[in-house]
Copies of this chain bind each other. A is one copy, B any other.
């Protein structure tokens, strides 16, 4: 695959009450075009990942909105796959270049969530699940709590290990000026925070954020500085049932496993080659399951390793969620998958600043829709 990242940028994630979805999209796009050092008219197509704009903002057909903001009349396509909308938009943009249609494409992920009451947002998010889940009143914390409980019973994973994911990701976020929750927290705080869905507590859950992220990918345009040349070497997607009840197992996400295996094969790399990864930690248990499903650890080993600090900045080996992850950087759902690409791009360019993983050569992004109905795995290298 001969596709490079030409530009990458993200807005700060947070509660942007004074900015609309369109404002956030504009901000991310303009900064990305600037980072790419090109003029808008080099962009031949636009892909945007967004989940909830219809329900929360009454705005669909976001493709033309992005094109309009850039003064373009190019093909503009909105992709929706719940929380994997951003990653899937990336996947489709790559396909569009591989099809020979375009050489340079803009990918945007965006979500505006905080203008609505939290109850409405929580209900809207359940649109990612199955009918049965919605009708039974399940929420996403409840569904992930089922997975956490199953993982604890099968592998002995502990609440302290789950808390260690949150502690690590908040530490990373404290080094990230774009994070929604840029402050460190302690394990005791996580464990003492209010129960949301046992065993998940408030500080095991990602927050509700606004934000937009964008990248420009190209098969042709030259990147002026050779040091900033980041190549996409795989981007694969797989699906699973919408609902948990139809799954073979609660302790793994089959879509993650399939997408991961396909991506490793396509890229010609192994899990041990990955230096830095953005994993889909919508809840702390999700990062632990992802670490295992993507082959970084054997089943049951991820919890103890995270507790030991194996994936924290400064450790040797794979470092995860340097952005702070969904947990602490924030989770504007459609933006997340693209923000992951932005973060890994910065890391591979050596532009990670205080949160730089020294010598990072190969990075991975893992973006999940719902409880794993969609998973996208992207691998990049410098």
Chain A 234-258: CB-based contact to B (< 8 A → 1; otherwise 0): 0001111110001000000011001
Q: Taking each of A52, A60, A75, which has the highest tally of chain B beta carbons within 10 Å of its own beta carbon?
A: A60
How many monomers of this protein are in the complex?
Answer: 2
Please provide the chain A residues from 21 to 44 with a CB less than 8 Å away from any CB of chain B in the complex: 22
The stretch among A90-98, A220-228, A281-289 that forms the contact with chain B is: A90-98
Are A58 and B241 touching (Cβ within 8 A)?
no
Bound together, the chains give a CA A22 to CA B242 distance in angstroms of 12
CB of A104 closer than 8 Å to a CB of B: no
Chain A 47-68: CB-based contact to B (< 8 A → 1; otherwise 0): 0000111110011111111011
Residue count of chain A within 8 Å CB distance of chain B = 59
Q: A95-B101, A128-B60, A374-B63 are in contact. Are A73 and B134 (CB under 8 A)?
A: no
The stretch among A79-87, A142-150, A170-178 that forms the contact with chain B is: A79-87
Please provide the chain A residues from 108 to 134 with a CB less than 8 Å away from any CB of chain B in the complex: 123-124, 126-128, 131, 134
Task: List chain B residues, Cβ under 8 A from A96.
Answer: 92, 95, 99
Are B80 and A60 touching (Cβ within 8 A)?
yes
In addition to A55-B55, A61-B127, A61-B242, 14 A-B residue pairs with Cβ atoms within 8 Å of each other are A54-B80, A54-B124, A58-B126, A61-B81, A62-B80, A63-B239, A68-B241, A73-B239, A73-B254, A77-B237, A78-B79, A92-B96, A95-B99, A98-B100
In the complex, the 4 A-B pairs of residues with the closest C-beta atoms, listed nearest first: A98-B99, A64-B373, A60-B127, A61-B82
Instruction: Identify 5 residue pairs between A and B in the complex whose beta-carbon atoms are under 8 Å apart, listed by A's number.
Output: A52-B54, A59-B134, A62-B80, A64-B239, A64-B373
